[in-house]
Amino acid sequence: MPRGEPVPSAPELRAFLQEILPAHMIPADFVSLEELPLTPSGKVDRARLPDPGEAGSGAREFTPPRDGVEEVLAAIWADVLGAERIGIHENFFNDLGGHSLLGTTLISRVRNAFDVELPLRRLFDAPTVAEMADVLGQEARDRAALERTAQLLLQVASLSEEDVQTMLSERAGP
C-alpha cells in the first residue's frame, strides 16, 4: 500500500481477492509491513521477512467443534495441516493454506475414519469442518451411527500407548 493509505484488514483483502482470483491462489495469511527488508544489493531479504503463520492475520475467530463428528474432522484437519487447532468455519484453502495434494491426504483420512466414500471434489465444495460434517451426515446412511463412530474414534485417540498395549495383551489371552 502507498504510504499514508489505510491498510485493509485481512477479511477485506480476502474478499477483494476472491472476486478476482481462484480460491487456491488466495494467501492463507496476510502480513502488513512498513517496508520490505532488503539485502545490501537491493533485493528482498527473504530471511528477514516475518513468518506469516506467526505474524498471522487472525482472519477468523476460532469456533470449536460442536459434536463428535466435527471434533474428529478438526483433529484430522489439524494433523494434515500441521496446525495446533482448527476452527469449524476455517476454510481449508483460503484460511489454512491447504492445497490439492494435502486435500487428497485429508479426504483419504476422512474416508478411512468414517468409512464413507468421498471424492476429492467434495472438499472443494465443503472446505470447512462444519460443511464437511454436513456432507458426511448426508452421505452416511445413519447419522446416529456416524456420531457413534466419531465418539469411538475420540475414545481411542485419548488412550495412552500403555492403555493400548494393555488392551491388546488382554485380547491376545495367555
Note the pLDDT of residue 53.
61
The whole-angstrom separation of Cα 79 and Cα 33 is 30
Same fold flag, 10-55 and 68-172: no
Note the pLDDT of residue 119.
92
Note the pLDDT of residue 168.
78
Note the pLDDT of residue 71.
94
Kindly list the domain boundaries of the chain, sorted by start residue.
10-55, 68-172
Q: Minimal CA–CA distance to 126: which of 141, 146, 140, 107?
A: 107
The sign one gets for the Cα dihedral 156, 161, 166, 172 is positive
pLDDT tens-digit profile, the chain (174 residues)? 666 778 787 778 888 888 898 877 777 677 878 888 899 999 999 888 887 665 554 445 788 999 999 999 999 999 999 988 899 999 898 888 888 899 999 999 999 998 888 999 999 999 999 999 999 988 877 778 888 888 888 888 888 888 878 877 887 766
The whole-angstrom separation of Cα 94 and Cα 23 is 6
Q: Are residues 60 and 87 in contact, defined by beta-carbon separation less than 8 angstroms?
A: yes
Q: Would you say domain 10-55 falls under CATH 3.30.300.30?
A: yes
Note the pLDDT of residue 60.
56
Q: Would you say domain 68-172 falls under CATH 1.10.1200.10?
A: yes
Number of C-beta neighbours around residue 117 at 10 A: 9
